[in-house]
Amino acid sequence: MNPRKRRWSFLNRPGILLLAVILLVGLHPGQAAADPKGKTPSKFINVAHRGASGHAPENTIAAYDLAVKMKADYFEVDVQRSKDGRLVIMHDTTVDRTTDGTGNVKDLTLAQLKQLDAGSWFSPTFAGEKIPTLEEVLDRYRGKGIKILIELKDPSLYPGIEQQVAKALSERKLDKRKDKVVVQSFDLESIQRFHQVLPRVPIGVLASYGDYKETGVTDEHLRSFAAYADYVNPNKDLVDADLVQRVHRHGMKILPYTVRDRTAADLLFTAGVDGFITDFPELGYTHHKK
């Protein structure tokens, strides 16, 4: 899940982003737009990747607020830890790509991270956006009608981060409701440790193309995942109808990543996925009938 740094020039045109949101928010993800009755045969799970990151700088409040406005079902966040032990939202292990600073996330204090501009790299429109903490995100979007997909990002760099994230969730009673948060990771050992701490919180297993391109995601893999996971979330290039059916036979759902165009979205709709993770939430608005 490492997209190239993008600069969307159209965002610099006044009113374009606002107009797009106004046009799109009337369609709810999972709604079959071609159906005049607005009915859909099944609920499609539309996940805004790092927020609506095709339209606003990833992993910022601006991107999460836009995901809410665009009526995504979830937005995804990447959790790491600052030098002074605070849970912060950042995808890369360094701040270089998405801020005006340099250095490793783990080597900077929260105060230092908060001084960085996390928006200007994307567009001058978002100058001054800050790196949020996990607690700020959990508190801001409580009761906002959107759920949160939390990725433990490179947890081997942050011993004990599983317990720390679990504490933040349990303090807000988010471990009591199975429909508010999902926690995922590429690190199978880490996500199993988290599951042991908060067994009621749904778990997602991320599967990278590099790790599974030779073997595919096999039934043996799925049997292992099913012991603790509710979701298998692979790179979209690993997904076909056969994998979707096998994931379902093992009692899990599948949310591939990262969808950035209509062609990829249509292929996944046809394969029968339960939802997908996308930079552009509008791609999840039209669910193809089965």
What are the pLDDT digits (tens) for 88-130?
Answer: 999 999 999 999 999 999 999 999 999 999 999 999 999 999 9
Confidence category of residue 179, pLDDT binned at 50, 70, 90? confident
Confidence category of residue 10, pLDDT binned at 50, 70, 90? very low
Task: Select which of 55, 91, 221, 287 is catalytic.
Answer: 91
Task: Select which of 49, 55, 195, 221 is catalytic.
Answer: 49
Confidence category of residue 286, pLDDT binned at 50, 70, 90? low
In this prediction the pTM is 0.86
Confidence category of residue 278, pLDDT binned at 50, 70, 90? very high
Q: 286: cis peptide before it, omega within 30°?
A: no
Amino acid identity, position 184: Q
pLDDT score at 177: 72
List C-alpha distances in Å: 216 to 34, 181, 186, 240: 34, 28, 15, 11
Confidence category of residue 143, pLDDT binned at 50, 70, 90? confident
User: Nearest-CA neighbor of 269 among 254, 251, 250?
Assistant: 254
Average pLDDT score, the chain = 88
Q: For the chain, list the strands marked E by DSSP.
A: 45-48, 74-81, 87-89, 147-152, 181-185, 203-207, 231-234, 253-254, 275-278
Known catalytic residue: 91?
yes
**Across 196-219, average pLDDT:** 97
pLDDT score at 193: 98
Known catalytic residue: 49?
yes
